[in-house]
Amino acid sequence: MGRGTVRGERIRQPAGRGEPPEKASDLGWDDSLYEDAPGGDDADSRGRTTRSRQRAAVRPRRRRRRILRWTASILAFLIIGTAGAGYLYYRHLNGNLKTGKLNLGEHKVPEPTPNAAGQRPLNILLIGSDSRNTKENLKLGGHKQSVGSAPLADVQMLLHLSADRSNMSVVSMPRDTLTRLPQCTDPKSGKVYAATVSRQMVNTSLARGGPGCTVATWEEMTDIHIDHYMMVDFSGVVSMADAIGGVPVCVNANVHSRNSSGEGSGLKLRKGTTSVKGEQALQWLRTRHGFEDGSDIARAKAQHMYMSSMVRELRKNATFSHPAKLRTLAEKATNALGVDDGLDTVKKLYDLSNELKRPAPKRITMTTMPFVYEGARVVPKENDADALWRLLRDDIALDGKDKADKEKPKDETSDDPAAADGKIAVQVRNGTRTATTPAAPGRAAQVAQALTAEGFTQAVPDQAQSLVEDRTVIRYPSADLEGDAQAVAKSLGIPLSSVEESTEVSGVTLIVGADWKTGTAYPKSTDDEDAGKALDKEQTQNGADDSKCMKVEPGYTW
């Protein structure tokens, strides 16, 4: 609409046709705003007054100001409206999240000590539920008889992000791992599930009050502090896989995961690389019949391959820079995820995602807990599983690259002179017990005898209850005994970095740890060597390796 129609429907006439030019007031201008100061009506050489010149100069500025005022008003309205809509959508996304208590058990592992920069590692338990208690989930897998039964945690992975955020480790635990389950209290019903006397499959922990009991089980088994959990069911995997837009996976032959008895996920792929999404992605993640030996171990390897590929895809494509795709992913993810109450807002999830994307794919290591078969089930492999959990507790990278990236503690000889070996009183204690295995019997007496043979005749075993100590350590109560403690360490080949002052002991105390369960010579190994020994190379993948293909089990090709 023109300005003339606003002001009495006047039609602008050109000057010079018998009609005087329009006044400024007729065009909506207020002349009083531009009155000259006294004495400002002198004419210039062209007969124009100073006032008219000023009016001519000010009119464009005034027009610009009015336009700016209108524009600012419109922008303010849009900003307020958009912010309001954004806030409402943010609340909507928060409302999508299903939250629960982090740990439902009695035993809670304290947070690890921060590093020199004040950083702590992050441990997140990823849980895949086999719930069939919705139409969507039942359609995607399982039998009608499963409806109403308690869900099982058929996928369990511990994601460890290093304190300095340089590397990430992902460790799967087979669903049929046997362990004693801790006491858990259902936060909704108040029902208390007593600790089990016999060993049960670890996936049944989810049915004992929810994911918080699975967290409690992991902390009991590994003695690792878990910061958060994330849980997703069948339909959640499908919706998130659709939102991501496809993840490349590879098989070394045509595969169809379906046998004559109807067992299998239904996955059907041609040899080579295929980008899977939606229901096909779920089939890949669930496939056991058709991969390698048809076990849960093979399924875990396929899941690691999918996760590694997904990380690479998200890093290289524009999913997170496209507003529509980002909104879709946010909607799908918040509807699909169950999280602990420490991740109860989208902002917290966003902040966490920024932390998780910091390690480069080449510094991401995925593996499966070392295990041995016990009948049709599995149990943690003694020593190897403990070594793996210790590496995570000590925040040591599983790719063995910490030697180049981190400064190792140096052995420094004390200025305090040591007493004669035969005059040093040493108490030896058994600390070989772990969260999953009993103490090695007689270790305190065996090592005390070895010390006596070295001339430390006052070394005596402590017959008290065994301790839990990951690594062998020698503690002393005050600086005047530091030299004595180091003399004991040198005699057995224990590194001086394992000698520490502590008010918890009354004299030089040697605690034989889980790293020294046999023999009288302390085993010599570095953290990087430990990392290599603890991992099964067949079950370990690097996040940057896109050359691997799943081996297809004979009988499932087409």
| CATH topology (fold) of 100-398 | Aminopeptidase (3.40.630)
Q: How many CA atoms lie within 13 A of 380 on its CB side?
A: 25
* Residue found under tokens 């089939």: 283
**Distance from C-alpha of 264 to C-alpha of 274, rounded to nearest angstrom:** 19
Higher pLDDT, 303 or 52: 303
Q: Which of 408, 369, 354, 393 is nearest to 165 (CA)?
A: 354
Strand partners, 348: none
**Distance from C-alpha of 413 to C-alpha of 424, rounded to nearest angstrom:** 17
Interacting residues of 406 by C-beta distance below 8 A, sequence separation 6+:
164
Sort 6 into a burial class: Cβ within 10 Å, 0-12 / 13-18 / 19+: exposed
**Distance from C-alpha of 485 to C-alpha of 421, rounded to nearest angstrom:** 10
3-class secondary structure per residue, 18-76: CCCCCCHHHHCCCHHHHCCCCCCCCECCCCCEHHHHHHHHHHHHHHHHHHHHHHHHHHH
Q: What does the mean pLDDT of the chain come to? A: 80
Position 461 scores a pLDDT of 94
Q: What is the number of helices (H) and of strands (E) in the chain? A: 14, 23
What's the chain's length in residues?
A: 558
Which phi and psi angles does 270 have, rounded to 5°? -85, 160
Higher pLDDT, 74 or 40: 74
Residue type, 233: D
- Ranking 15-24, 62-71, 123-132, 228-237 by mean pLDDT, the lowest is 15-24
The answer to whether 369 touches 177, Cβ cutoff 8 Å, is yes
Count of CB atoms situated within 10 Å of the CB of 465: 9
Higher pLDDT, 390 or 525: 390
Strand partners, 501: 476
Sort 399 into a burial class: Cβ within 10 Å, 0-12 / 13-18 / 19+: buried
Strand partners, 432: 468
Share of the chain above pLDDT 70, in %: 74
Highest mean pLDDT among 25-39, 327-341, 379-393: 379-393
- Ranking 47-51, 86-90, 296-300 by mean pLDDT, the lowest is 47-51
**Distance from C-alpha of 267 to C-alpha of 286, rounded to nearest angstrom:** 9
pLDDT over threshold 60, residue 352: yes
Q: What are the boundaries of each domain within the chain?
A: 24-96, 100-398, 421-528
**Distance from C-alpha of 135 to C-alpha of 359, rounded to nearest angstrom:** 38
The CA distances from residue 10 to 22, 60, 219, 273, in Å, are 10, 21, 83, 73
Interacting residues of 56 by C-beta distance below 8 A, sequence separation 6+:
none
Higher pLDDT, 3 or 522: 522
The answer to whether 178 touches 201, Cβ cutoff 8 Å, is yes
pLDDT band at 378 (very low <50, low <70, confident <90, very high): very high
The tokens for 217 are 């089980």
Q: Which of 477, 392, 390, 475 is nearest to 434 (CA)?
A: 390
Interacting residues of 416 by C-beta distance below 8 A, sequence separation 6+:
479, 480, 481, 482, 483, 484
Position 76 scores a pLDDT of 59
Alpha helices, H only, 262-360 = 278-286, 296-316, 323-336, 346-356
Count of CB atoms situated within 10 Å of the CB of 525: 13
Give the model confidence (pLDDT) of 280-330 as tens digits: 888 888 898 999 988 888 888 998 888 888 888 777 764 455 666 667 777
The tokens for 50 are 């100073």
Q: What is the SS3 assignment for 509? A: strand
**Distance from C-alpha of 225 to C-alpha of 223, rounded to nearest angstrom:** 7
pLDDT over threshold 50, residue 99: yes
Examine domains 100-398 and 421-528 and report if their fold is the same: no
Q: What average pLDDT does range 100-122 have in this prediction? A: 90
* Residue found under tokens 């999918």: 306
The answer to whether 428 touches 461, Cβ cutoff 8 Å, is yes
**Distance from C-alpha of 258 to C-alpha of 197, rounded to nearest angstrom:** 38
Give the model confidence (pLDDT) of 268-279 as tens digits: 999 999 999 888
Interacting residues of 331 by C-beta distance below 8 A, sequence separation 6+:
93, 96, 243
pLDDT band at 411 (very low <50, low <70, confident <90, very high): low
Q: Which of 246, 235, 369, 234 is nearest to 296 (CA)?
A: 369
The tokens for 300 are 């875990």
DSSP 428: E
Position 117 scores a pLDDT of 85
Q: Which CATH class is domain 421-528?
A: alpha beta
- Ranking 331-335, 350-354, 514-518 by mean pLDDT, the lowest is 331-335
Position 433 scores a pLDDT of 84
Give the model confidence (pLDDT) of 485-520 as tens digits: 999 999 999 988 889 999 889 999 999 998 898 888
